[in-house]
Amino acid sequence: MSIEVFDGRLRSARRHRRAPLDLTVQASLADDILAVTREGLSNCARHAQASSVEISLVLTETAVRLKIIDDGIGTATRSSGLTNLRRMAEHHGGSFTVTASDAGGTELVWTARIDS
């Protein structure tokens, strides 16, 4: 699943079928998913010196998981941006991890609970 932004709206796409994510989850969660995606991609571009990035977004009935994997030089040891991502995850009853990916580079995983 990939993330696309159309006119400021966060959407998910799978197999050429598009369904608006922001109509599936609460607006505050959709906004945070977009903010996490932007921060993750910004870190890839500014700090990791990555040449490629893979983004996956998995949505279930109870949770959402965003994973960003790059092929860059690794993670920063301290970052206020990463602290904010952790706070956003915790606010939504989720979690946040940043680790070295198996193929080198960095793997960011951000989860949140979906409230019904």
Q: Tokens for 29, please give them.
A: 């969660």
Average pLDDT over residues 87-113: 92
pLDDT at 53 over 70: yes
Instruction: Give residue 49's pLDDT band: very low, low, confident or very high (50, 70, 90).
Output: confident
In this prediction the pTM is 0.77
- Between residues 22 and 28, the one the model is more confident about: 28
Amino acid symbol at 82: L
For the chain, which residues make up each domain, given as ranges? 2-113
The CATH code belonging to domain 2-113 is 3.30.565.10
Q: Residue 12 pLDDT more than 60?
A: no
Q: What share of the chain has pLDDT > 70, as a percent?
A: 75
Mean pLDDT of 101-114: 89
CA 27 – CA 29 distance, rounded (Å): 5
Confidence tier at 1 by pLDDT (50, 70, 90): very low
Is the Cβ–Cβ distance between 98 and 86 less than 8 Å? no
The answer to whether 26 and 115 have CB atoms below 8 angstroms apart is yes
CA-based angle 86:51:105, to the nearest 5? 45
End-to-end CA distance of the chain: 22
Lowest mean pLDDT among 44-53, 72-81, 103-112: 72-81
CA atoms within 13 A on the CB side of 110: 29
